[in-house]
Amino acid sequence: MQSTTSEPLVSISWGRTQDRLLGTSLIVAAVALVIAGVLHPEDSPVGMVMPIWGPLHTVLFLALFVALVGVIRVYAVASSQSTWLGLVAFTLFALGIVGFEGVMLLEAAVLPVLAGSDATRALTEEAGALMTGPLGTWLPFIAIAFSVGAITFGLILLRAKDFPRWAGPLLMAAPLFAFEPPIPLWLAKAGVVVFSVGLIGLGWSIRKLPEQPSTTISASSSHS
């Protein structure tokens, strides 16, 4: 006679320690966003060949990744207090962040090489083949998803009891830098600072989330 038992194949737990680590990481990422945003050169071949261009966009890529994880955690907590609009806001916001992460990789690793060569510099001009091609077509959609997602996500946070209400409106500054250019660089930098302060508020709140039973996700297998 055979007996069947189940054992977990995968078990993922999330508790207070992870929240503290993520909250701290989000605060550090937000500070990095401020520094990289303020130091960001102009979007032109001249700015792209500056030594600071590549490292700044690498920092932006990493900071956005941490921000994405933070947004996922915030939504996981706030979803019980929101409606279908919260899901739409989260989805657009997350997709926008992922889209801009791809752009940051391109700007960190590819654009400086193209801008530094006489043969390819014209490609990086505002009227060059990159911006008038598929990349230029997709960028507005990424900016729209990111901006609409940030604004609606900010509205959702106004009703979330575990997060500061002032953080939501600060996230609504996202369009100021998502649409640069044509928005002036100085205004985009101001938008990054305001947006990042909102992330700092969320990071601090994640650190202070009340003690909860650990969330476990598991898959099981059967043995005879």
Please check whether residue 3 lies inside any domain of the structure. Answer: no
The answer to whether the CB of 79 falls within 8 A of the CB of 86 is yes
Please check whether residue 42 lies inside any domain of the structure. Answer: yes
The pLDDT of residue 126:
83
Which of 10, 176, 168 is closest to 82 using CA atoms? 168
Please check whether residue 217 lies inside any domain of the structure. Answer: no
Helix (H), strand (E) at residue 17: helix 16-39
Q: Residue 168: which domain range?
A: 19-210
Please check whether residue 1 lies inside any domain of the structure. Answer: no
Q: Where are the beta strands (DSSP E) in the chain?
A: 5-14, 215-223
The pLDDT of residue 162:
85
Please check whether residue 180 lies inside any domain of the structure. Answer: yes
Q: Structure pTM?
A: 0.84
Residue showing tokens 């919260």: 86
Please check whether residue 215 lies inside any domain of the structure. Answer: no
Residue 54, amino acid: G
Question: Which DSSP symbol is given to 121?
Answer: G
- Tens-digit pLDDT profile for the chain (224 aa)? 444 554 544 445 567 788 899 999 999 999 999 999 999 999 889 999 999 999 999 999 999 999 999 999 999 888 877 788 889 999 999 999 999 999 999 999 999 999 999 889 998 888 888 888 888 889 999 999 999 999 999 999 988 888 998 999 999 999 999 998 889 999 999 999 999 999 999 999 999 887 655 544 444 444 54
Please check whether residue 174 lies inside any domain of the structure. Answer: yes
The pLDDT of residue 169:
94
Distance of CA 58 to the CA centre of its chain: 13
How many domains, in total, are found in the chain? 1
Please check whether residue 151 lies inside any domain of the structure. Answer: yes
The pLDDT of residue 12:
53
